[in-house]
Amino acid sequence: MASTQKGWGELRSLATGERWDLRPEDLSIVRALAAGLPEHDADKHRELNAAAKRGWAVQATSTVDAHVRQRVEALERHFAWCRSALPPTAHEAVLAGHSARRHTHRGFAQRSALPETIARRAALVGTEPKRVLVLGDDDLSSLALLELGHHVTVLEIDEAIVSLTRRLARADASLELLTYDLREPLPPALNSAFDAFFADPVSGPGALRLFIARGLAALAPGGRGFVCVSEAGAASFAAVARELTVEVSEQYTDFNHYYAPDYTLAFHTSDLAIIRPRADTTLRPRPDEPFLPRGLTTEDHFPTTPASRYVFKNIDPGTSQIIHLDTMIRVLERTGRLNVVERSYFEDGGVRSYLMHTGQGGAVLVRLLPNDKVGELFVSPADSVLEEALVVVLLGVIGIAGTVVETQRVRGSSVYTMV
């Protein structure tokens, strides 16, 4: 599994947990592997052989990785209660697609929804064949929509996703795939051409406005937009809906479940809002205008400030409860040194995690592995005053038995950050 962003990345073996840091010169090989290699491209095949020699790649007859499939299916079992109504072929197509995927591009803020979520989303479009536009599709929604008989167009900035989707879709599918940056004006042929659009933008106001304005411009009269709205993006979404004057006809709470690039469950969920243009809806930006919003995570805008990582050893498994930690964090907040705008807790396979998005646009993640007596703290972006305070809190709560902590500055961020 590869995870990359501008200038750096990592490879991880899901089978053994082993990790390799990628050098900038390795990235093109990994991207080529993720996007697939045309048979006739001898240079790329030489690169592939080089990657195989380093243990990064093996030749296989199927693109579906059984190991990944198992991991995704295990995550979906957390949501067995909402799987009964899934259209089975749509679900299977998306599950196979995600099991064939090898690459997450953090520089484009990719964090995919689970196949069960995608199948439920696609089912909301209805049973009559519709023309559907998908704005950004690392979720592989297009595969579910095609299985349900819809005509699909995808605008996606990441060539690896475009190429993966092209390989996975049936040859006779009614699918148009365009490698496209939504900041550019909308291709004129797409204006007023669709019955529905799908968008799962990052949460900043600029990114939400961009995805929503492009989607609305593409809707034919009577069309609807299906937009994912995270808790962190709720206020911005309300503001954008108000400014553009769109009707929010439905909003399903916690509809979307996501997984992280290492195939663990993501910390956040998001709502699904259904929006419709009104007679007085104003498109800002207009479809023929370029728009460069702040807050859109793209390769170029991705923050490269370092994050910090601390490892605590010999923690006391008895006291390493998130609830104790939460109490102390709230005390710290009262001192004004930490401003948490969104927090989530998660426990999986004995690992307890506590993720906080901070008012400064960064994040703090605490991971506790009581079975191994290990704790980890990530602070992104690095902030020595905040780190010092958090280390004191953690030392107090999880009881270090005198062991000095390891500290590390890491380039980019191991936790997800909004600009």
Ligand X SMILES: C[S@@+](CC[C@H](N)C(=O)[O-])C[C@H]1O[C@@H](n2cnc3c(N)ncnc32)[C@H](O)[C@@H]1O
Binding site for ligand X (CB under 6 A): 108-111, 136-138, 155-158, 161, 180-183, 200-202, 228, 298
Smallest gap from Cβ 54 to ligand X, in A, equals: 27
Phi, psi dihedrals of residue 91, rounded to the nearest 5°: -65, -45
d(CA 230, CA 218): 23
DSSP code of residue 15: T
Smallest gap from Cβ 226 to ligand X, in A, equals: 13
Smallest gap from Cβ 377 to ligand X, in A, equals: 22
d(CA 203, CA 238): 12
How many other β-carbons are positioned within 10 Å of the β-carbon of residue 121?
Answer: 24
Q: Which is nearer to ligand X, 158 or 271 (CB)?
A: 158
Q: Which is nearer to ligand X, 157 or 216 (CB)?
A: 157
Is residue 262 exposed (0-12), middle (13-18) or buried (19+ Cβ within 10 Å)? middle
Q: Are 373 and 297 in contact (CB under 8 A)?
A: no
Q: Which is nearer to ligand X, 202 or 272 (CB)?
A: 202
Q: Are 140 and 94 in contact (CB under 8 A)?
A: yes
Q: Which is nearer to ligand X, 264 or 321 (CB)?
A: 264
- The residue of the chain with the least Cβ separation from ligand X equals 136
The amino acid occupying position 137 is D
The CA R_g of the chain, rounded to the nearest whole Å, is 22
Helix H or strand E encompassing 234: helix 234-244
Smallest gap from Cβ 289 to ligand X, in A, equals: 14
Q: Which is nearer to ligand X, 136 or 412 (CB)?
A: 136
Q: Which is nearer to ligand X, 169 or 325 (CB)?
A: 169
Q: Looking at the DSSP assignment, which residues form a beta bridge with residue 247?
A: 276
Smallest gap from Cβ 153 to ligand X, in A, equals: 13
Q: Which is nearer to ligand X, 56 or 211 (CB)?
A: 211
Q: Are 356 and 348 in contact (CB under 8 A)?
A: no
Smallest gap from Cβ 59 to ligand X, in A, equals: 28
Q: Which is nearer to ligand X, 155 or 329 (CB)?
A: 155
Helix H or strand E encompassing 147: helix 141-147
Query: Which distant-in-sequence residues (6+ apart) come within 8 Å of 61 by Cβ?
Result: none
Smallest gap from Cβ 34 to ligand X, in A, equals: 12
Angle at 107 (CA atoms; ends 9, 267), nearest 5 degrees: 90
Smallest gap from Cβ 272 to ligand X, in A, equals: 11
Which of 1, 238, 208 has its CA nearest to residue 101? Answer: 1
